[in-house]
Chain A
Amino acid sequence: MWGAFLSETIKLRRRSMLLWGFGGGLFFPLLATIFTIERATKTLEFNPHGGVRVTIAALEQPTGLVHGVVDVSSLIGIVSLCLFAAAFAVEYSQGTLRNLLVREPRRSQLLTGKFLALVVFIAIVVIVAVGVSVAVAFILAPGKGISTAAWTSSTGISDLLHAVLHAFLAAAIYGLFGAALGVILRSPGVAIGVAVAWVIPIEAIIVGAIWSNGDRWLPGQLLDALAHHGNSNSSYLHALVVLVIYAVIVATGTLLLFNRRDA
């Protein structure tokens, strides 16, 4: 497994992987942080395009530092989903899987080592994304008259660490689903297309038109709840437990398929 892990780290140093991983992972949190701070208002204001703008008072709370990051955790998750799906499917579509199996015939070890390397990669992406967002928040806050005192309090640091942990957990589970799609569909384009279509429009349609209680059970909704440390639909614990059950089922099914299917 260690060999598969090391081998994958060489592939992850490709320019395309770094660009998509860090580019996608950094873009959304950075944008969200800038918008959240720059558009913050002194009093509660309804946005003409829907929702409400964050108030300066809310941003001055310990959680204010990671407000933007938490809002786009699901988008980091979708970047992770696409990254994992592409990383697994491309081994089939390029024909490199056979080379890998010649050097590591223990398929479970190959799959697990590759997955763990990608998990470490996405953890680094999350940490860097949050780190850059935090730095930008500290730079922009004084200009908007936002006090950052609570951000560096023990509660603020704790909220920051929780935000990193939840964003990472959501990204890792998104990644597992992406890996499963990559192995099942064996085509990066198809795997990414199916993944994004499921998470963005299909789940919304199911919840909106077919199954109103689906927001407590559908994976995309649960991952959103996990990233937000629970939301109005699901508690954090409910989301975590159901997602762990899903993850075990998906991981077992993927391992079985990968082990039994001809390469």
Chain B
Amino acid sequence: MTTTTPPSDSGGAASDGAAFPIIATGLSKRYSEVLAVDSVDIKLPAGVVGGFVGPNGAGKTTTIQLLLGLVAPTGGSAKVLGESIEHPSRYMARVGALIEAPAFYPSLSGRRNLEVLTSLGRLNPARIDEVLAMVELSDRAKDRVKTYSLGMKQRLGVAAALLPDPELVILDEPTNGLDPAGIREMRAVMRGLADRGITVLVSSHLLREIEAICDHLLMIDHGRIVFEGPISGLLDAQRSGLIARPEHAKDLEPLAALAIAAGKQARVDDDVVRITADEDWAPELNRQAFAAGITLRGLEATRASLEEAFFAITEAEDPGGEAEDQH
């Protein structure tokens, strides 16, 4: 499977920039022998929370650094908010970003660290209180950053990204180090940004996180984009299934045989039978089981998870390779 919405150069740059805050065409980055980013095409629609997923080392951070003008591409081109990445000063004032682990001056307070950035970008200092409140760090703003937990530093990093009241926010692994409550708050912050019309691109190797908050997806593996499009489209395209649980264990094998006879794939898994079939076939299975004298204690439809979809795609792209573990 390849990119579902290939970028196009047609239309004006300004309108493209408004409709698609990030457009990349054949974007590449080579470090001596290593091709970290390999001809990446991206067309991220405005107003979405875009998930950027892939294993560690797949090229997510390098792609983000390319988009932010921090590293120079060795091939291809890209536009952010309608401006070429060759001129980051033309668009970075409208972009907020958190790159890799949040880095701050440990002997300065959280507030002073943000003051460093507002002074540098000539931003409104009043934003400091607003963004500290957004990430719930107002109470600790005067404490030195070296006393912060990793989760607090992560939240301060997100606060720093929000300082310019950006049109586009790019967050690299923002939930790293956060506890479950912090992750939930971070999800709310990102959804809140999207609700205000701000486009968010969030990278993560935690696929469940991305599945929970994103509506658009970029999948990268070995430096190449292997999928781009709406997340619902990806999951719908994956094979769905049914899980049938007979009342008696002796009926497991007959139930699986019944499904196979109907042309479906089926296997016994512990005390259930897993059948590859659409949800629509569930009533028919129920009828056939009843006719065969099998009483079902439970019958539920399952949908492929993002994790399963990711492995299905990467294994299809690289049948001989082994996808990295995703947790």
Contacts and interface: CB of A to CB of B under 8 A. Distances in A.
Interface of A: 2-4, 6-7, 9-11, 14-16, 94-96, 98-106, 110, 260, 262-263
A3 B71 contact: no
Interface string B176-212: 0000000000000000000000000000000000000
Contacts of A6: 119-120
Interface residues of B, number: 33
A99 B160 contact: yes
B316 interface: no
A14, A15, A96, A99: residue with the most chain B Cβ atoms closer than 10 Å: A99
18 contacts: A2-B122, A3-B119, A3-B121, A3-B122, A10-B119, A11-B116, A14-B107, A15-B107, A16-B107, A94-B106, A100-B117, A100-B120, A102-B92, A103-B120, A103-B163, A104-B120, A110-B120, A263-B70
Given A10-B108, A98-B70, A102-B92, A3 B120 contact: yes
Interface in B116-133: 116-117, 119-123
B70 A104 contact: no
Contacts of A106: 89
A262 B97 CA distance: 17
Given A94-B105, A104-B121, A106-B89, 9 more contacts: A7-B116, A10-B116, A16-B107, A96-B104, A100-B120, A103-B121, A105-B89, A260-B72, A262-B71
A95 B70 CA distance: 12
A98 B122 contact: no
B107 A101 contact: no
A117 to B, nearest CB: 11
Interface in B93-119: 95-97, 99-101, 103-108, 112, 115-117, 119
Contacts of B164: 103
B92 to A, nearest CB: 5
A14, A96, A105, A110: residue with the most chain B Cβ atoms closer than 10 Å: A105
A105 B100 contact: no
B26 interface: no
A7 B107 contact: no
Contacts of B88: 105
Interface class of chain A by DSSP: helix
Given A105-B69, A105-B88, A106-B89, A7 B119 contact: yes
Contact of B101 (A95, A100, A105, A263): A95
Nearest to B29: A262
B104 A102 contact: no
Interface class of chain B by DSSP: loop
B100 A95 contact: yes
B286 interface: no
A263 B92 contact: no
Contacts of B65: 98, 262-263
Contacts of A102: 68, 70, 92, 95-97, 99
B190 to A, nearest CB: 18
A106 B116 CA distance: 16
Contacts of B112: 10
B112 to A, nearest CB: 6
B154 to A, nearest CB: 14
A116 B142 CA distance: 28
Nearest to B95: A102
Interface in B58-99: 65, 68-72, 88-89, 92, 95-97, 99
Nearest to B122: A3
A101 B70 contact: yes
Contacts of B116: 7, 10-11
B71 A94 contact: no
Contacts of B100: 95, 98
A10 B92 contact: no
Nearest to B71: A262
Given A6-B119, A105-B89, A96 B105 contact: yes
A263 to B, nearest CB: 4
Nearest to B103: A95
B103 A98 contact: yes
Contacts of A98: 65, 70, 99-100, 103
A257 to B, nearest CB: 13
A10 B115 contact: yes
B119 A94 contact: no
A244 B72 CA distance: 32
Nearest to B90: A105
B320 to A, nearest CB: 32
